[in-house]
Amino acid sequence: SKRSITVIPGDGIGPSIIDAALRIMDHAGCDFHYDYADAGLTALENHGELLPQTTLDLIAKNKIALKGPLTTPVGGGFTSINVSLRKLFNLYANVRPVVSFEGTQSRFENIDIITIRENTEGMYSGAGQKRAEDNSSAEAMSIITREGAERIVTFAYELARNEGRKKVTVVHKANILKSTSGLFLEVAREVSQRYPDIETAEMIVDAACMNLVMYPERFDVIVTTNLFGDILSDLCAGLVGGLGMAPGANIGKEVAIFEAVHGSAPDIAGQNIANPCSVILASIQMLEHLGLADKAAQIRTAVAKTIAEGKTVTRDLGGNASTTEFTDAIIANL
Ligand code: NAI
Ligand code: MG
């Protein structure tokens, strides 16, 4: 029987770029059954809640989901749906690869960096969020556990080993955040001892920002805590042509959710001009995760060829094609 995948089209530009990825996978001969589910603003409108139980059930049933960006309404006390999904399914590893494609507007060539972001702890654990009633002060708690740190750093080294990568850079701020970042670094040093075949580097997060912009070729795999990983992965997207080129996978023991790094882009929604590559590259990550490396490679080659030709790309890549025209061109190159 066909493998079922839960598809969450999402909000804003989501449905158009998800549709692009599904069309490309279908043309590449992937034989999936898609179970559609709502989340985000779309779900609030259709079902009265941001994250309906039926959606959670479909994610749990199929174990694999491809998800468009979701809009979390500002105010009204809504917690981020993405943060909720990551916590509910314990998707502890956020894997965000950036790769240079010839023909993008990027200042760099030959970039190939994977940021592994801890996805459930740190500043985003949601713990201890407090605001004084008179708004005179606010506080939030950052939580790092030995177990969480060990799990994510081990994940990074295992990925490095499996993909034949040479180096893991541990990014931290242990000099100032001695308790939290200090524990993360301490655990990372212990884990690194088990991987003598892989070079380990340590870098303070501010220095990492400068070095990523000046010498991105020095980076291979980055492993870091939640907030730093959120910020650094957008920086990395900027090294390869912007958010339209940046996919991410949220991986847990049971479930994996593949998505774009960016949001619902309300400023360009409904205009059919979004770059679909973020979700297409996320679908490539999904195919690799499912052991379909040949399909993944086939789609990657078609994307690379279309961008290199440069005739039919979206405006963020220097062209003037619509999302649909860009997708059609990739399909023609399959
Ligand atoms: P955003 O990532 O949606 O947009 C930032 C800028 O990048 C915008 O100028 C947008 O037009 C551009 N952009 C993003 N994706 C693009 C693409 N595929 N092609 C071309 N240009 C693209 O960030 P913003 O505006 O801060 O957030 C909008 C909404 O998205 C918010 O409600 C936020 O909560 C949500 N969000 C959701 C995420 C998710 O579901 N994973 C992640 C980040 C934000
Ligand atoms: Mg982010």
Q: Are residues 87 and 129 in the same domain?
A: no
Last residue of a domain, one of 223, 239, 255: 239
- Nearest CA-CA partner of 172 in 192, 213, 201: 201
Annotated catalytic residue 267: no
Atom of ligand 1 at shortest range from CA of 67: 40
Q: How many domains, the chain?
A: 2
| CB-ligand 1 contact for 244 (6 Å cutoff) | yes
- For the domain that residue 19 is a member of, what is the CATH number? 3.40.718.10
| Cβ atoms 98, 235 nearer than 8 A | no
Q: Are residues 235 and 248 in the same domain?
A: no
Q: Can you tell me the ipTM of this complex?
A: 0.97
Secondary structure of residue 55 in the 3-state scheme: helix
Residue 103 forms part of a structural domain = no
Kindly report, residue by residue over 203-231, the tens digit of the pLDDT. Answer: 999 999 999 999 999 999 999 999 999 99
Last residue of a domain, one of 215, 239, 263: 239
Q: Are residues 70 and 122 in the same domain?
A: no
Active-site residue, selected from the candidate residues 230, 295, 316, 328: 230
Q: Are residues 255 and 211 in the same domain?
A: no
Confidence of residue 59 (pLDDT cuts 50, 70, 90): very high
Q: Are residues 205 and 174 in the same domain?
A: yes
Element (H, E) at 250: strand 247-251
% of residues, the chain, pLDDT over 90:
92
Last residue of a domain, one of 187, 219, 239: 239
| 84 vs 80: CA distance, rounded Å | 6
The domain in which residue 308 lies consists of 1-94+243-334
| CB-ligand 1 contact for 16 (6 Å cutoff) | no
Whether residue 106 has pLDDT greater than 90: no
Ligand 2 geometric centre to CA of 333 (Å):
31
Q: What is the pLDDT of residue 189?
A: 98
Length of the chain: 334
Secondary structure of residue 260 in the 3-state scheme: strand
Q: What is the mean pLDDT of residues 96-124?
A: 94
Whether residue 77 has pLDDT greater than 80: no
Q: What is the pLDDT of residue 79?
A: 76
Lowest mean pLDDT among 125-129, 159-163, 250-254, 294-298: 125-129
Whether residue 89 has pLDDT greater than 80: yes
Average pLDDT, whole number, for the chain? Answer: 96
Checking DSSP bridges between strand 167-172 and strand 64-67, what pairing results, if any? unpaired
Q: What is the pLDDT of residue 114?
A: 98
| CB-ligand 1 contact for 267 (6 Å cutoff) | yes
Atom of ligand 1 at shortest range from CA of 316: 20
